[in-house]
Amino acid sequence: MYPQLYLKCICSSFAHVAKQGCQSRDAIVSISLFVTSWASKDVVWNNMLEKDKTYTRDVHMMENHPHLQPKMRAILLDWLMEVSEVYKLHRETYHLAQDYFDRFMATQRNVFKSTLQLIGITCLFIAAKVEEMYPPKVHQFAYVTDEACTEDEILSMEIIIMKELNWSLSPQTPISWLNVYMQVAYLKETDELLIPRYPQATFTQIAELLDLCMLDVRCLEFSNGILAASALFHFSSLELVENVSALKRVEVEECVRWMVPFAMALREVGGSPMKTFTGIPADDMHNIQTHASYVTWLEKAHSYQDVELERHGNCPVPSGVLTPPLSIEKTEAMVRVDATELKIRPRMRTPSPQRPLPK
């Protein structure tokens, strides 16, 4: 469990945020959000809100795929985080890939688990081309599947996915919302929203909670802005969340409550230390997606959910929540069995081979 001193430091880091009354979400943050010389702050804010309404997800999407289980989605996304870390992809890239995957799956019926890895790696391939300055090549994405997916299959699936998504590839992701909330919390009145000015360690801790809870398919019940605000709440206060997001208590309380078992699991394991990456500037280090034992932590979170269900008697199990195993302690070997069952064969501890230059 996190030391109490650590939690106090996290909370005190937000203590300077000015108190201000919240009216409506459309009005308040456009007043205090940021100063921009390159665009109207009202237009920027309203565009962000509109994206949250436009890019919707379907929490019931797994019902369209009787051959799949929610845990398969969790294992796939966990693997995509590992691929992202190996190739030093940004958090935004991974979150875009997760959004593409969930929205694409909502448009499909009867997807088999043998196709799941191809869909996932293709979503990450698309996201990297959207977000990264120097995205990995298609052969590098094919390589990490250990020959489960070929380059041609990835390129063919790319067209299928983008057509099904109607080429809508720019959602306001939870991590981008968190970035905005953190910047608003630390901005001075004359600052522009160009260079982040907030503690990187605090950002990565909150991002880790987001990454964990979003492995649970029930995250799709909530908008991305509410997910980010709820994660921020677990490291700060309701007052700060209202000030930086203009969301009311009634709008976030359900998500905050749902997120409690995930926060408890993260505190139990202690989270992960901030990682460093060669070749990445220090001021961009916190933006690189990292991987941890998320699937194991997810099982711990579900065990906390199970305890809460027993405590409250006959309360129904929330839709989409994975049923925890009989043993709370799920071993890494069991996780690897799940990955094999899903035909995910990660091969990422060595760099991908360089293609020979044409003669």
Of 136, 138, 133, which Cα lies nearest the Cα of 122? 138
Helix (H, G, I), strand (E, B) or coil at 238: helix
What pTM did the predictor assign?
0.79
Question: What's the confidence (pLDDT) of residue 258?
Answer: 94
- What whole-number distance in Å separates Cα of residue 266 and Cα of residue 264? 5
DSSP-derived letter for residue 149 is S
Please check whether residue 77 lies inside any domain of the structure.
yes
What is the domain-level CATH number for residue 298?
1.10.472.10
- Does residue 349 form part of some domain? no
Burial of 22 (0-12, 13-18, 19+ CB in 10 A): middle
Q: Would you state the pLDDT for residue 223? A: 93
* 78-92 burial code (b ≥16 CB/10 A, e <16): bbbbbbbbbbbbbbb
* Rounded-to-10 torsion of CA 79, 82, 83, 87: 170
Tell me, yes or no, whether 355 lies in a domain: no
Report the chain (359 residues): mean pLDDT per 10 consecutive residues.
37 44 45 52 72 80 91 95 95 97 94 93 98 95 91 97 94 93 75 66 93 95 94 91 89 93 91 87 91 91 84 46 34 44 50 49
Q: What's the pLDDT score for residue 171?
A: 93
The tally of domains found in the chain comes to: 1
Show the domain range for 67. Answer: 4-18+25-341
Q: Over 248-309, what HEC string results?
A: CHHHHHHHHHHHHHHHHHHHHHCCCCCCCCCCCCHHHHHHECCCCCHHHHHHHHHHHHHHHH
In a domain, residue 348? The reply is no
Looking at residue 218, the DSSP 8-state letter turns out to be G
Which residues on adjacent β-strands are paired with residue 288? 90
Phi, psi of 162 (to 5 degrees): -65, -35
Report if residue 354 sits inside a domain.
no
Token pair recorded at residue 49: 């809100």
Q: d(Cα 76, Cα 64) in Å, to the nearest integer?
A: 18
Coil/strand/helix, residue 54: helix
Question: What ranges make up the beta strands (E) of the chain?
Answer: none
Inside any domain, residue 334? yes
**CA–CA distance, 229 with 242 (Å, rounded to integer):** 9
pLDDT of res. 17 = 44
- pLDDT for res 54: 77
CA distance 346 to 120: 13
Encoded tokens for 193: 């929203």
**242 near 265, Cβ under 8 Å?**
no
Tell me which DSSP letter residue 102 carries.
H
Domain contains 188: yes
